[in-house]
Chain A
Amino acid sequence: MSEISTREELIKGNKGLKDITDDVFSPIVAKPNKLWFLGLLLAASAAAIGIIAIVLTVWKGIGLWGVNKTIGWGWSITNFVWWVGIGHAGTFISAILLLFRQKWRTSINRSAEAMTIFAVICAGLFPLIHMGRLLLGFFIFPYPNTRDVWVNFNSPLLWDVFAITTYFLVSLIFWYVGLIPDLGTIRDRMKTKFKKAFYRILSFGWTGSAKHWQRFEVVSFTLAGLAAPLVLSVHTIVSFDFATSVIPGWHTTIFPPYFVSGAIFSGFAMVLTLMIIARKTMNLQDYITINHIELMNKIIILTGSIVGIAYLTELFMAWYSGVEYELFAFINRATGPYWWAYWIMMTCNVVSPQLFWFKKLRRSVGFTFFMSIVINIGMWFERFVIIVTSLHRDYLPSSWEMYKPSIVEIAIFVGTLGIFFTLFLLFVRLFPVIAMAEVKTTIKNK
């Protein structure tokens, strides 16, 4: 444990093992406060609005949206990529940081993984509902059928199907496996019969025996090994939706690394948003310390800078390629009718993260919270810029069009925010937000 001694302590407040269990357990048994109920009410209302909008879309048709003959994808795919991107931080923290033995991840990995799952749920909604014929959506799976029709393995959308479903399943299992020891602890502490039974079922009969721990470790590492490449592959494949096409502004080989770093960038921003709220409202300042926030901010500088370099590389390549359509696409992004979206993206994603070079700002909770929101706005605009500004003026000027979202599209986006926060609020009441068992390994035994 020499590593810990030379660095700032990960967990503050001189906690013992029992303290940790007490701290994490208390929100699960305590009566939720008014703030929680208010939050749930807001989130659930937003979710309800979104669900109404989704039902309307499926019932009436995509004609309710603002997409048109030229811009076939609008907010729906923007939101899809945005949500998938957000999910990436969770897997990055739990899988890649686990493999690199970054102990500090233990305080945040549980909620980051939960965030991943909820974000992927929100993301997965969009490709489904943006289909013209959702009821026949099952055609997209390669299932044996009497008509001998098969899916098109050349299509990046099909790769998406596999990538997203794999990602969702692995993340879910990984998260759940990580939860098992903690669920066992909660089961043991629960007094009421019903709650005890609930957690007994969920904990799969965990006893904490050495054999259990050994198996747990093996499974965790195996899943981490599986999940780690997914961090890179999922957004790579999502970027293929664009990179393999012929549309100027989409057709670029830089997309996979650019998308992956952008995803981690936005994911960490979302983790920060959630963690800063959670540590405040749930009294977890000792577990999620300024140190944690600073470490995450460092990752934000790194990935944000990669994204910035990617933007500049795109511009350079547009000029250097000598392809008139490419060059036009980028000039149009910066100076065309959607210039404001481009400059919001540039400001939020390239300029603002550079402020984290200042240690003072990096360690400021308020500023970090503000920045986390700014980055998520910026990353949403990145996807909007890529999708809408590339499509709205492509090859033939005769087809150039403008796009603005309809109220239904906006409602669906608000709805997914609602779904996300509803699930997250339920999560913090039902499950331990901090991976107790893992955090315990990072402190000296008292």
Chain B
Amino acid sequence: MTKYWKSLDGNSIQKKEDKKETKSPTNRRDFLKMFGFGLASTFVLSRCENAAHKAIPYLIKPEEITPSMANYYASSFFDGDKFNSILVKVLDGRPIKIEGNDLSTISQGATNSITQASILSLYDDTRYRKPKINGVDSNWLAVDDQIIHQLKKIKEEKDKIAIVSPTIISPSTQKVIANFKKQYPNTDHIVYDSISASAILDANKESFGKRVVPNYQFDKAHVIVGINADFLGTWLSPVEYTKQYVQNRKVSDDNRKMSRHIQIESGMSLTGSNADERIIINSSEEQNVVANLYNYIAKKLGKEKISAHSTQVNVQKLGDELIQNKGKSLIVCGTNNKETQLLINGINQLLNNYGKTISFTHSLLIKQGNDKQMLDFVNNLESYKGVIFYDCNPIYDYSANKKIEKALKNIDLSISLSTIPDETSELVNFVCPANNYLESWNDFNPKKGIYTIAQPCIQPIFDTRQEQESLLKWAGIDKSYYNYIKDVWQADIYSKTNRIFDFGNFWNKSLQDGILELELKQAEPKYKYTLESVKIAKPKPDLELQLYESVNVGSGKFANNPWLQELPDPVSKVTWDNYAAVSVALANEKNLKTGDVIKINNTIEIPVLVQPGQAKRTISIALGYGRTVAGKSGKDIGADVYQLIKSSDYRPYQLSNITIEKTLGFREFATTQMHDSMEGRDIVRETTLDKYDVNPESGNERHKEIEKLHQTLYKEYEYNGHHWAMAVDLNACTGCNTCVAACSIENNVPIVGKDEVLKAHEMHWMRIDRYYAGDPENPEVVRQPVMCQHCDNAPCENVCPVGATNHSSEGINQMAYNRCIGTRYCNNNCPYKVRRFNWLDYNKADALGNNLHDPHGLTENLPRMVLNPDVTTRAKGVIEKCSFCIQRIQEKKLKAKLENRTLQDGDIKTACQQACPANAIVFGDLNDKNSEVYKLFKQQRRYHLLEELHTLPSVGYLTKVRNNKKS
């Protein structure tokens, strides 16, 4: 059991912060003093060729810090959109990696790619370094003086102040705002979410009297119907849902049951591409299809019908399946249309799902925004004399941005609490930069009854101050936020527990765990039928637009994170761009091909991508791109489509009656995969559940035949110690990219930028291959994570003239970077093409300083701090590839040795395995007959990629099983 450490004493941090206000320039020096040794040793390790300039040893070594040994601190990630309980790996004073917190019942130790990559935002060079007044650098004293003066003036004149924020799930922050309101009673708190869930919230308010998102339990559902809800990729709490979803998707020789998932959607989403059955509808048909489904189920169950239009979608089959699984089904819908959401509630009620697969006990609290409130606020913005933008960027992600921009010119007191320059903070009078979340104290209440803590893992790098401290200061409360949280916990949360410990111990334990879960017992609220007034809109025959949250950059807040920008889209494999996904039929009709630039509604120019499985008349475009102020990496990447969303009571992400016009422009996409078909090859082996039920070997019959042919003239390797291997469950993998992000971060995999990806020079050590099969209008999708297969009979090892790649006694195909001269013969001879060549000096690791290729400034001093010192940065001209996280293997082996014990299965987790929310990757020792990987290798679903080549890979794949009758 890993022991999670508490952080440094909050009081001392607070004192330092207070001091800093008077002599802010010493901030960086302080930091260097404290972590000088860490920095120096990092540079020694990460830049072998450069000498250490300074090495300052600890005079008095802090008890919990051993140089070069990592500590893990429990914390929380919440960006206003997604929540994750995390552990922060801190090495020599630098947070360098984020892992999931196993104790969390929400994410259960998993993360998503945004959480993984968020660590780089800490070291973002473009962050605000100090407060600003009207664009000029200032200091906190002056800023506070002026702001408090103006706030008081507004108060005296009885004018209104607004705090605009995304959903705030921090109980202490809510109290801080309440305190602020107490001081300035004319304050309105406006809450809006960039990706709104207003309709779900209001529908639940009407149906159940509670304005919350209920707790969906995908693990309890045997039949899951998703309607334009990308719950494995972006919808509400995708990590949690993925964890739940895969529980019923993991089949084995002993358990041959799995859930059935039907997705009804317009664009090809990550979730839809994983569904057993995918039904394509245009977005304006959505409501009518839901109504028809409601009517069919109601009729069957003898309940009242509502009026609806006819539909071509076969709702009977769907309805029958749902009725058969009454109380074991779940239907979710992503639309921001209240009436549709009311119908969804109605269906779930008819199916008796409340209290079984949906519950209000641990309701999800991460979305509480109110579009109507925001709309009213924007319409009456002139009546406010002061506006505080708290962690939000409406100029970018709210469509009435021109209106806000105009109104801001007449508002004397506009404050942004952003950490990084963004579209909104550029327009305000006062920028009061907040800390990065890894430098802040906070608490969260992501679900009812679940509380988490965020603790700082590093001193603030710049002269910044966290939002709550600023508000407290302006509210005249002289208390550190750390103490404030503690008091809130003592008063509000400690009292709800059984109080076995005294508060001190309780607090310490909560801090160490990072999470506190209370047992809640409450009755489910009663359903109230409210469908009388629901009017079903008739589907329209025009072109439609569907805007969706990007899996990679989310709502756009992290657009300046090159790690995220360079992740390939899980469906299209496009990096560094968004695009208008059009159907094959529409492309033929309008004579469009991938790359052609079109103009939508005469406002937005965006290139087209012909997307198999796209609804015929619906065009899908990802949100989160087209930022105009977003550091080096996020600026002008793709097109901004937030501006197309009409600001209304329920901001619609589906637009009808749009026009498109082909322009002369053409843009080439930086895709990581050019070819979509498996060409009939035996790459991803799949079967259907009914066949698997009869014969677990189905779909994998070739495996035995090929095994029979196994023979060799040479002496086979003998693995007397460990024999490392990895099993990848293709039925569990959803293709969410988290593993790719985690791998890149763990292993210092360089970012090469769009131009290099266009040249197919991307460096990712692992990739997720995606193939389409069948009808291009509605294809089946398969995915396969591919990393170095660590072949026991490796083609790359034979051909290296200098023996730079060779085989370890534990079955690992290893790279000696220092020995590599870069002939690339190994790469040519690798049938899996997993080897990556350093075409240029991406890492500033080369002896010659002239050939650096670093378009996003990641080799500058600050971003470099994120590098993992346990992994060499590779110089220009050498090959690199997956090492099975050899540094992690080594670390745990040494640890076991120190503790005088043998390694246990599960001690070592590779970065991809640890991050995976689907538990699709298992790493372990094949020589250990009790290991999980050994058991998985014994499954009849196991096969190896291209096993007919007799490369004898150490990575095994488990066949994909579809819960689908048709073969």
Interface residues of A (CB under 8 A from B): 59-63, 66-70, 72-73, 127, 130-134, 136-137, 139-140, 149-152, 154-158, 161, 241, 244-247, 324-325, 328, 391, 393-402
Determine, out of B14-22, B229-237, B369-377, B847-855, the stretch whose residues face the partner at the interface. Answer: B847-855
Known contacts: A61-B877, A133-B822. The answer to whether A69 contacts B762 by CB under 8 A is yes
- Tell me, rounded to whole Å, the shortest Cβ–Cβ distance linking B899 to chain A: 33
Please determine whether A132 and B801 come into contact, CB atoms closer than 8 angstroms: no
Which of A60, A133, A397 is B681 in contact with, Cβ under 8 Å? A397
Known contacts: A245-B799, A396-B683. The answer to whether A60 contacts B770 by CB under 8 A is no
Which of A132, A397, A398 is B821 in contact with, Cβ under 8 Å? A132
Known contacts: A157-B801, A397-B681. The answer to whether A61 contacts B824 by CB under 8 A is no
Please determine whether B821 and A136 come into contact, CB atoms closer than 8 angstroms: yes
9 A–B contacts from the bound complex (CB under 8 Å)? A61-B838, A63-B840, A137-B821, A154-B798, A157-B801, A324-B681, A397-B676, A397-B771, A400-B674
- B78 part of interface (Cβ distance < 8 Å): no
Chain A residues closer than 8 Å to B777, beta-carbon distance: none
Chain A residues closer than 8 Å to B675, beta-carbon distance: 393, 397-398, 400
- Tell me, rounded to whole Å, the shortest Cβ–Cβ distance linking B776 to chain A: 16
Which B31-76 residues sit within 8 Å CB-CB of chain A? none
Which of A132, A156, A400 is B877 in contact with, Cβ under 8 Å? A132
- B823 part of interface (Cβ distance < 8 Å): yes
Chain B residues closer than 8 Å to A70, beta-carbon distance: 760, 833
Query: What is the bound-complex CA distance between A399 and B784, given in angstroms?
Result: 13
Chain A residues closer than 8 Å to B756, beta-carbon distance: 63
Please determine whether B838 and A132 come into contact, CB atoms closer than 8 angstroms: yes
- B470 part of interface (Cβ distance < 8 Å): no
Closest B residue by C-beta to A324: B681
Please determine whether A396 and B786 come into contact, CB atoms closer than 8 angstroms: yes
- Tell me, rounded to whole Å, the shortest Cβ–Cβ distance linking A66 to chain B: 7
Which of B679, B681, B786, B828 is A391 in contact with, Cβ under 8 Å? B828
- B108 part of interface (Cβ distance < 8 Å): no
Which of A66, A161, A246, A328 gathers the greatest number of chain B CB atoms within 10 Å? A246
Please determine whether B837 and A140 come into contact, CB atoms closer than 8 angstroms: no
Query: What is the bound-complex CA distance between A140 and B851, given in angstroms?
Result: 24
Which of B674, B679, B839, B875 is A402 in contact with, Cβ under 8 Å? B674
Query: What is the bound-complex CA distance between A82 and B195, given in angstroms?
Result: 59
- Tell me, rounded to whole Å, the shortest Cβ–Cβ distance linking B709 to chain A: 13
Query: What is the bound-complex CA distance between A223 and B836, given in angstroms?
Result: 44
Chain A residues closer than 8 Å to B838, beta-carbon distance: 61, 132
Chain A residues closer than 8 Å to B679, beta-carbon distance: 328, 397
Interface string of B770-806 (1 = CB under 8 A from A): 1100000000000010100000000100111111000
- B662 part of interface (Cβ distance < 8 Å): no
Closest B residue by C-beta to A155: B801
- B759 part of interface (Cβ distance < 8 Å): yes
Known contacts: A133-B820, A401-B674. The answer to whether A245 contacts B761 by CB under 8 A is no
Query: What is the bound-complex CA distance between A395 and B875, given in angstroms?
Result: 29
- B24 part of interface (Cβ distance < 8 Å): no
Please determine whether B828 and A398 come into contact, CB atoms closer than 8 angstroms: no
Q: How many residues of B contact A (CB 8 A)?
A: 60
Chain B residues closer than 8 Å to A72, beta-carbon distance: 824-825, 827-828, 837
Query: What is the bound-complex CA distance between A114 and B767, given in angstroms?
Result: 50
Which of A61, A69, A395 is B876 in contact with, Cβ under 8 Å? A61
Known contacts: A132-B821, A132-B877. The answer to whether A152 contacts B803 by CB under 8 A is yes
Query: What is the bound-complex CA distance between A241 and B955, given in angstroms?
Result: 27
Query: What is the bound-complex CA distance between A73 and B821, given in angstroms?
Result: 14
Query: What is the bound-complex CA distance between A241 and B878, given in angstroms?
Result: 20
- Tell me, rounded to whole Å, the shortest Cβ–Cβ distance linking B881 to chain A: 11
- Tell me, rounded to whole Å, the shortest Cβ–Cβ distance linking A254 to chain B: 19
Query: What is the bound-complex CA distance between A328 and B825, given in angstroms?
Result: 22
- B673 part of interface (Cβ distance < 8 Å): yes
Please determine whether B850 and A60 come into contact, CB atoms closer than 8 angstroms: yes
Please determine whether A155 and B798 come into contact, CB atoms closer than 8 angstroms: yes
Which B646-692 residues sit within 8 Å CB-CB of chain A? 673-681, 683
Query: What is the bound-complex CA distance between A400 and B833, given in angstroms?
Result: 9
Closest A residue by C-beta to B878: A132
- B949 part of interface (Cβ distance < 8 Å): yes
- Tell me, rounded to whole Å, the shortest Cβ–Cβ distance linking A146 to chain B: 14
Query: What is the bound-complex CA distance between A405 and B762, given in angstroms?
Result: 18
Chain A residues closer than 8 Å to B784, beta-carbon distance: 398
Closest A residue by C-beta to B839: A63
- B831 part of interface (Cβ distance < 8 Å): yes
Chain B residues closer than 8 Å to A247, beta-carbon distance: 828-829, 831
Query: What is the bound-complex CA distance between A198 and B824, given in angstroms?
Result: 44
Query: What is the bound-complex CA distance between A397 and B772, given in angstroms?
Result: 11
- Tell me, rounded to whole Å, the shortest Cβ–Cβ distance linking A288 to chain B: 41
Chain A residues closer than 8 Å to B769, beta-carbon distance: 396, 398
- Tell me, rounded to whole Å, the shortest Cβ–Cβ distance linking B788 to chain A: 13
Closest A residue by C-beta to B836: A69
Chain A residues closer than 8 Å to B951, beta-carbon distance: 246
- Tell me, rounded to whole Å, the shortest Cβ–Cβ distance linking A341 to chain B: 18
- Tell me, rounded to whole Å, the shortest Cβ–Cβ distance linking B848 to chain A: 7
Query: What is the bound-complex CA distance between A245 and B875, given in angstroms?
Result: 27
Please determine whether B821 and A133 come into contact, CB atoms closer than 8 angstroms: yes
Please determine whether A151 and B803 come into contact, CB atoms closer than 8 angstroms: yes
Chain B residues closer than 8 Å to A155, beta-carbon distance: 798-801, 825
Please determine whether B771 and A398 come into contact, CB atoms closer than 8 angstroms: yes
Which of A66, A137, A241 is B759 in contact with, Cβ under 8 Å? A66
Please determine whether B823 and A398 come into contact, CB atoms closer than 8 angstroms: no
Please determine whether B823 and A151 come into contact, CB atoms closer than 8 angstroms: no
Which of B786, B799, B800, B833 is A69 in contact with, Cβ under 8 Å? B833
Query: What is the bound-complex CA distance between A405 and B516, given in angstroms?
Result: 59
Query: What is the bound-complex CA distance between A204 and B812, given in angstroms?
Result: 58
Query: What is the bound-complex CA distance between A324 and B821, given in angstroms?
Result: 34
- Tell me, rounded to whole Å, the shortest Cβ–Cβ distance linking A392 to chain B: 10
Query: What is the bound-complex CA distance between A161 and B821, given in angstroms?
Result: 14
Please determine whether B841 and A61 come into contact, CB atoms closer than 8 angstroms: yes
Query: What is the bound-complex CA distance between A140 and B800, given in angstroms?
Result: 10
Closest B residue by C-beta to A72: B824
- Tell me, rounded to whole Å, the shortest Cβ–Cβ distance linking A78 to chain B: 13
Which of A60, A68, A130 is B760 in contact with, Cβ under 8 Å? A68
Which of B878, B945, B946 is A133 in contact with, Cβ under 8 Å? B878
Query: What is the bound-complex CA distance between A94 and B315, given in angstroms?
Result: 84
Please determine whether B839 and A398 come into contact, CB atoms closer than 8 angstroms: no
Query: What is the bound-complex CA distance between A244 and B829, given in angstroms?
Result: 9
- Tell me, rounded to whole Å, the shortest Cβ–Cβ distance linking B511 to chain A: 45
Known contacts: A149-B803, A151-B803. The answer to whether A244 contacts B798 by CB under 8 A is yes
Chain A residues closer than 8 Å to B897, beta-carbon distance: none
Please determine whether B760 and A401 come into contact, CB atoms closer than 8 angstroms: yes
- Tell me, rounded to whole Å, the shortest Cβ–Cβ distance linking A353 to chain B: 31
Please determine whether B822 and A62 come into contact, CB atoms closer than 8 angstroms: yes
- Tell me, rounded to whole Å, the shortest Cβ–Cβ distance linking B718 to chain A: 19
Query: What is the bound-complex CA distance between A94 and B54, given in angstroms?
Result: 66
Query: What is the bound-complex CA distance between A394 and B756, given in angstroms?
Result: 22
Known contacts: A130-B823, A155-B799. The answer to whether A61 contacts B786 by CB under 8 A is no
Chain A residues closer than 8 Å to B832, beta-carbon distance: 395-396, 399
Please determine whether B762 and A139 come into contact, CB atoms closer than 8 angstroms: no
Please determine whether B833 and A396 come into contact, CB atoms closer than 8 angstroms: yes
Query: What is the bound-complex CA distance between A154 and B829, given in angstroms?
Result: 14
- Tell me, rounded to whole Å, the shortest Cβ–Cβ distance linking B763 to chain A: 9
Query: What is the bound-complex CA distance between A152 and B796, given in angstroms?
Result: 12
Please determine whether B803 and A60 come into contact, CB atoms closer than 8 angstroms: no
- Tell me, rounded to whole Å, the shortest Cβ–Cβ distance linking A65 to chain B: 8
Query: What is the bound-complex CA distance between A328 and B823, given in angstroms?
Result: 27
14 more CB-based (< 8 A) A-B contacts, given A72-B825, A132-B837, A396-B946? A61-B839, A61-B876, A69-B762, A69-B827, A69-B833, A133-B820, A140-B821, A245-B799, A246-B795, A246-B831, A328-B679, A391-B828, A394-B833, A398-B771
Chain A residues closer than 8 Å to B771, beta-carbon distance: 397-398
Chain B residues closer than 8 Å to A132, beta-carbon distance: 820-824, 837-838, 876-879
Closest B residue by C-beta to A130: B823
Known contacts: A69-B762, A139-B819. The answer to whether A133 contacts B877 by CB under 8 A is yes
- Ranked nearest first, the 10 interchain pairs of A and B with the lowest CB-CB distance are A132-B822, A132-B877, A63-B839, A72-B824, A68-B760, A398-B769, A63-B840, A399-B833, A152-B803, A157-B801
